[in-house]
Amino acid sequence: MTSEIYRNRVNNLLNTLLTRQNALNESMRYSVLAGGKRFRPILTYTTASLFDVEPSQVDACAVAVELIHIYSLIHDDLPAMDDDDMRHNQPTSHKIFGEAQAILVGDGLQALAFEVLASAENIIPSTRIKLLNLLARSAFDMADGQSIDLSVVSKNADLELLNRLHLKKTGALLGCAVKFGALLKSQINKKDIEILSSFSEKIGLAYQIQDDVLDILGSDECLGKRQNSDLKKGKPTYPSVIGIEESIKAYKGLYEEGIEGLGELSKSAKALIDLTNKIMHRDY
Amino acid sequence: MTSEIYRNRVNNLLNTLLTRQNALNESMRYSVLAGGKRFRPILTYTTASLFDVEPSQVDACAVAVELIHIYSLIHDDLPAMDDDDMRHNQPTSHKIFGEAQAILVGDGLQALAFEVLASAENIIPSTRIKLLNLLARSAFDMADGQSIDLSVVSKNADLELLNRLHLKKTGALLGCAVKFGALLKSQINKKDIEILSSFSEKIGLAYQIQDDVLDILGSDECLGKRQNSDLKKGKPTYPSVIGIEESIKAYKGLYEEGIEGLGELSKSAKALIDLTNKIMHRDY
């Protein structure tokens, strides 16, 4: 229920943001407003709620992290990258606007993410700087993780390499989403940050393994993209290395470890635990 | 002489920055350290010097603006965009590392630019926020300008459209480079900012027209890329619309107007005027 409220909230913010007149507007709206789970913004609002941070204080972070996520999907889908033609049940950006515009819309969205956060007047400058720094490092690590991913040609990569690349490719931005929620509380203690970092690493990895499992078990319609799209490309995934059953065990174990660690937080983590349980049982 | 000192300074900073171990390191170094005029960082150092800002205070801005410029060149050179195979007298990024890595190295460099500036501890947070905001808006406008550029198919675009796209595509980041130098001075007066904005618009447009002229008149070696590369693609340029002679008159006139306007600054603009004169007489 709360996730639904946060999802609507970020959808409205994104819709309002993308009304400026510019050449990229139509192509930005096409990808940004196509739906999507809005998992990262929901994580940020939920984490912030543990520390009694008002949603209005969280908005810029929620929007920024989602814009970075969407730019990464547009670039990942390009023919030179993963070459996907469907995303969120609609043709991918380059299928509609061409490759050049899809590259530019991704570039523009990355810049816009930083602009939204840099101009969030309701966050004090010293906190905003911390948030911007984290967003920049996470966006870099995400690109770096994708670079590692593309360079792994063998389906039989070992788990250590898979973990390392997932932690960057998926984990960096998920970690950013979680830590955003905590850093917005200016008086946050160091131990809470460490607990949330560890939590976000675990669920970041779990989320990616679960994605790989759903890529095999889910339907095209639910996934919003072609089923088995990763497997068909011969990319190494958890299921290709240790099998489906073990992969399911692995991601459930990681989610549970993540939840367990939250017990040490100085605040009640109930809302975040409920959200994690919900994600663990998602089917898309 | 001073330009040379600033160029060496930013080259050293970039070289030091790119020593972190990550998957994108080699491809980032390849493009970032390939040379280039470092015109934008030199503009920032020079403008800052008018307001007695120490070079050490300027470093992060100089590096950030150059990283954004280089990412834009890597993406502009892609086959889906301008499809150029030479840049700074060496094969373009995608020729060496492939298209996917070239997209990612551009993405990573954009993130890195924001990280460098966000983590510049020697700039007070409230100023850093202003600089980050300007960098983000300029990077967005640059991508937006490139998007307009790609959508202009006719060689016979009118000057009004050409001006509008050049102001975004080239002017936005040049303007950012100049205004960085002024915003670093926390007590800068509003009129000086306006004068420098107007100056940077004029030289941003002049620089692009001059580029188009040099693209026809210059040698491959001097340019570091193929001569006539824009004209061959049937892109509209000042020379294709009003001819070479009129284009030369136009850019010289704009540089001179820019220089004239600097006379109204509250500080002596000699260093910036000298730099502008030098640029006006460049042959590459």
User: pTM of this prediction?
Assistant: 0.96
pLDDT tens-place string over residues B262-276: 999 999 999 999 999
User: Sign of the CA dihedral A66, A70, A73, A75?
Assistant: negative
Bridging pattern class, strands A86-87 and B90-91: unpaired
Mean pLDDT, to the nearest integer, of B57-63?
98
* Model confidence at B231: pLDDT above 60: no
Q: Does A107 touch chain B (CB under 8 A)?
A: yes
Instruction: Name the residue with higher pLDDT: B159 or A262.
Output: A262
Q: Does A161 touch chain B (CB under 8 A)?
A: no
Per CB-CB distance under 8 Å, the chain B contacts of A27 are 147
User: Per the CB < 8 Å rule, is B114 touching A126?
Assistant: no
Out of B60-69, B169-178, B231-240, B259-268, pick the least confident. Answer: B231-240
**Domains by residue range for chain A, with CATH:** 2-280 (1.10.600.10)
CB A226 within 8 A of CB A235: no
Question: Are the beta carbons of A114 and B136 separated by less than 8 Å?
Answer: yes
Give, in degrees to the nearest 5, the angle at Cα B265 between B259 and B266: 155
Mean pLDDT of B12-41: 95
Chains A, B: CB pairs < 8 Å: 140
Q: Chain B residue closest to A124 (CA)?
A: B126
> Which residue in A104, A108, A114 is closest to B132 by CB distance?
A114
CA atoms within 13 A on the CB side of A64: 31
How confident is the model at residue B119, as a pLDDT? 98
Contact call for B144 and A100, based on CB within 8 A: no
- Whole-number Å distance between alpha carbons of A215 and B99: 26
**Predicted ipTM?**
0.95
Chain A CB within 8 Å of residue B98 CB: yes
* Whole-number Å distance between alpha carbons of B188 and A143: 37
Chain A contact set for B23 (CB, 8 A): 144-145, 147-148, 151
Does A67 touch chain B if contact means CB atoms closer than 8 Å?
no
**pLDDT number for residue B232:** 55
CA atoms within 13 Å, Cβ hemisphere of A66: 33
Residue A137 at interface with chain B, using a CB cutoff of 8 Å: yes
Contact residues on chain B for A119, CB-CB shorter than 8 A: 133
Q: B128 to chain A: which residues are within 8 Å by CB?
A: 125, 129
Per the CB < 8 Å rule, is A139 touching B24?
Answer: no
The CA distance from B168 to B205, in Å, is 9
Give me the mean pLDDT over the A253-264 stretch. 97
- Check if the beta carbon of residue B147 is closer than 8 Å to that of residue A24: yes
CB contact under 8 A, A104 and B146: yes
The C-alpha atoms of residue B120 and residue B207 are separated, in whole angstroms, by 29
